Amino acid sequence: MIVRCKQAQPSPEHIARHGKPFAQPDVLEAGQEYVVLALQFEVESLIWGTGAWLQLPHEDKTMVFAPMCLFEIVDGRMSQHWEMRQWEDGSVTFWPLSFYADYYHDDLRAGKADVLEDFHQVWEVLDNEARGTAPLPVGSRAAD
């Protein structure tokens, strides 16, 4: 899945609609395309508010979380490497399997070597999948 950033920060309308102030660092660039590493949907979450959130690679070799409302979809094919899970609070995640490991995101931010290595492998696989020449999904037709 590939998305293009429409705007780097949420508007007041986005914040009002999603019910949560966004604590996103200034790392997104309008017009830039990003490969989506993971996707999650939240409903009235104390941390995330309500809406869809993307996990995107960042140039410092980690990832950032960003609300989907800041993006447009360039290629909507979901990764074959994602696993869907539903959580007790009603949220739904589509993550690579290793992202579900206990403390994965915390260990990634802390720079734990084995998690960094896994993350870079996941990033490479998902990037190649999204930017490669994958076959058309079942039920789709090539444009004439």
Each residue's pLDDT tens digit, 39-84: 999 887 777 778 899 999 987 678 888 889 899 999 999 999 999 9
Predicted local distance difference test score (pLDDT) of residue 43 = 81
Task: Give the pLDDT confidence of 85-130 residue by residue, as tens digits.
Answer: 999 988 999 999 999 999 999 999 899 999 999 999 999 999 999 9
**Would you kindly state where each structural domain of the chain is located, as residue ranges?**
2-131
Predicted local distance difference test score (pLDDT) of residue 144 = 41
pTM over 0.75: yes
DSSP string across the chain: -EEEES-SS--HHHHHHHTS-----S---TT-EEE--EEEEEEEETTTEEEEEEEEE-TTSSEEEEEGGGEEEEE-PPPTTEEEEE-TTS-EEEEEGGGGSTTHHHHHHHT-HHHHHHHHHHHHHHHHHHHS-PPPPTT-----
